[in-house]
Amino acid sequence: MDDWWEESLHDGFRVGLRIDELLHETKSAFQHLKLFENKALGRVLTLDGIVQTTERDEFIYHEMLSHTPILAHGDVHRVLIVGGGDGGMLRRVLMHPGIESVTVVEIDDSVIELSKRYLRSICGDAFDDPRAEVIIGDGAGYVADGRGQFDVIIVDSPDPVGPAGVLFERGFYSDCKSCLAAGGIIVTQNGVPFLQGEVLRSTVHHLRSLFADATCYLAPVPLYVGGFMAFGWASDDPTLRQVTLKTLSKRLAKVNLTARYYTAEIHMSAFALPGYVEALVVSV
Ligand code: SAM
C-alpha cells in the first residue's frame, strides 16, 4: 500500500503526493520538517504540512523572485533574503556578477542543514560562498533593528503560518523599507491569488501605504496549486517596473544565469495581470 503525503492548506482543497522514499522527518523548535522522494517531482521539502519547494519546479519560483528585481534595478550589490532556508534563492542571487553580499536571515537552521544534506540540486554550494552571510533568527526582528541598507529585499517565506505570520504584517514591511537603500526593491512570496486572494490584497495594501509603487507579478509554479503564484513588488521608484525590454535584454546578455524559466520577455509579461488578480491589487 503506497504511503501518501497530503496538503490541505486551502479549506476544502487537498493535494496528495506519493512518498516513494521518506528521507527525513523531524520537529524543530519552530516547525515540522518532512522531506521525501516523489517520482514526479524529485525531492520535496514540506514545513508544517505545506510544500515549500521541490527539485523539479523550484527553478521557476527562485528565478522569478530573484532575477526579476535584480535585473529591473540594474545595479544591485547588497541583497537581503528573509527565509530562504532551502538555498535556492541564494544560489540565484549569487549568479549576478555585481553582487557583493547576500544576507540570509533564516529562523530555523535545521532547514539549512537539511537542504545542504538532501537538496544540493537546489542550493548547490551557495551557503559556502564568501559573499553569503547566514544569520539564524527571526527576519522580522532583524529588519526591526534597521541593520544594513539593501538594494533588494526578497521575502522568501512560507505562507503566513507559524513563525512566518509576522512576515505578512505592515510593521514588517515598514521595517523592511527602513533597510532599503534609495531606489531599492522589495519582493515577496505571496501565494496563489486564486485561493489566497486575501493574503495578496493585504500585502499590496500594506506596501501601497509605504511605497510609491506597489503591485504584484505572476508565474505558474506547478506545485503551488491553484493557477498563478503571485509575488509582491514595491519600490519608491516607479520607473524600475517600467524598465524596457531592450534594457532588460542588454542587462541579461551580460550575466550568465542559465535560467530555465526567466527571460526578458517573461519578465515584462509577468506584470500583465488578469482581471481577477488586478481586482485584488488595484482595489486596495
Ligand atoms: N518557497 C517557499 C514558499 O514559497 O513557501 C519558501 C521557502 S523557504 C523554505 C521558507 C523559509 O522561511 C523556511 O525555511 C522557514 O524556516 C523560514 N521562516 C519562516 N518564518 C520565518 C521568520 N519569521 N524569519 C525568518 N525565516 C522564517
Instruction: Let me know if 57 is a catalytic residue.
Output: no
Which residue in the list 86, 138, 151, 156 is annotated as catalytic? 156
Give the pLDDT confidence score for residue 13 in this predicted structure: 85
164 pocket-lining for ligand 1 (C-beta < 6 Å): yes
Alpha carbon distances (Å) from 2 to 19, 22, 38, 79, 89: 7, 12, 12, 43, 33
83 pocket-lining for ligand 1 (C-beta < 6 Å): yes
Residue 284 has pLDDT above 60, yes or no: no
Give the pLDDT confidence score for residue 161 in this predicted structure: 86
46 pocket-lining for ligand 1 (C-beta < 6 Å): no
Q: Are 154 and 65 in contact (CB under 8 A)?
A: yes
Nearest to 252 by CA among 1, 67, 108: 67
- Give the C-alpha separation, 282 to 273, whole Å: 11
Mean pLDDT, residues 96-112 taken together: 97
pTM: 0.97
Residue nearest to atom 19 of ligand 1 (CA): 164
223 pocket-lining for ligand 1 (C-beta < 6 Å): no
Nearest to 65 by CA among 102, 44, 101, 90: 90
Residue nearest to atom 15 of ligand 1 (CA): 83
140 pocket-lining for ligand 1 (C-beta < 6 Å): yes
Residue 129 neighbours by CB distance under 10 Å:
16
Q: Could you report the per-residue pLDDT of 163-209, keeping only the tens digit for each?
A: 999 999 999 999 999 999 999 999 999 999 999 999 999 999 999 99
Residue 252 C-beta-side C-alpha neighbours within 13 Å: 22
Give the pLDDT confidence score for residue 259 in this predicted structure: 97
SS3 124: coil
Residue nearest to atom 2 of ligand 1 (CA): 52
193-210 vs 275-282: helix axis angle to the nearest 10?
Answer: 30
